[in-house]
Amino acid sequence: MTTRKLILAAAAATLAASAYAAKPARPRADVLPLKELMGHVMQRNAEQLWSWSAEEVDASGTHSGQPKDEAAWENAESDALTVIELTYVLETPSYRLPSADWHRYVARARAAAKASAKAAEAHDYPGLQKAGDDLNAACVACHLHFVPELEKGPPAPAL
Ligand code: HEC
């Protein structure tokens, strides 16, 4: 979770300087640009979903994000359903890139988000963790294909 955030934050900084040229099929002036949709909407909602399966270790021990009651499981399911809906947004003309591979990568992310929703509904914590990892892998796979510079880590510190 923390690693994911760090990688994406570093990547957002490098992307500004990249030669990324792919543009959505029909970008519209009155909708968020893809970059903003990703950075503000997709990232934020995925983080909310991942927070339910985050295991953080610090000096005071391990802290698990595992939903503890029915309301929390419902919220986890809601976060997964939001990410599913966002994958449909990615297939609209305002956002999809003109490539046959776009649909394949979107479908992979959607399958992982659907597995998250199913696991949350079943109160299945290992399932929620696995689906969260699969979702992260799906985000990274699409970025590596279309915007590889996004997934490059920060430069190694000078010796
Ligand atoms: C189908 C492909 C695809 C999937 C799936 C995908 N992304 Fe992206 N993402 C992109 C593309 C393309 C960009 C670059 C957009 C641009 O800069 O115009 C991007 C950019 C980003 C950025 C950088 C935004 C910025 O401010 O520069 C973040 C953060 C991000 N995605 C998060 C996610 C997360 C989290 C997921 C999974 C839950 C995800 N993405 C899934 C294609 C995808």
Q: Using CA positions, which residue lies closest to atom 35 of ligand 1?
A: 43
To test ligand 1's pocket by mutation, which of 42, 97, 134 has the most ligand atoms within 8 angstroms of CB?
42
Tens-binned pLDDT, residue by residue, of the chain (159 aa): 454 654 554 455 444 433 345 678 777 788 899 999 999 999 999 999 999 999 999 999 999 999 999 999 999 999 999 999 999 999 999 999 999 899 999 999 999 999 999 999 999 999 999 999 999 999 999 999 999 999 887 777 777
Measured from the CA of 43, which atom of ligand 1 is nearest? Answer: 35
Q: Using CA positions, which residue lies closest to atom 15 of ligand 1?
A: 35
- Which residue has 């892998």 as its token pair? 137
To test ligand 1's pocket by mutation, which of 40, 135, 143, 144 has the most ligand atoms within 8 angstroms of CB?
143
As to burial, measured by CB atoms within 10 angstroms (0-12 exposed, 13-18 middle, 19+ buried), residue 126 is exposed
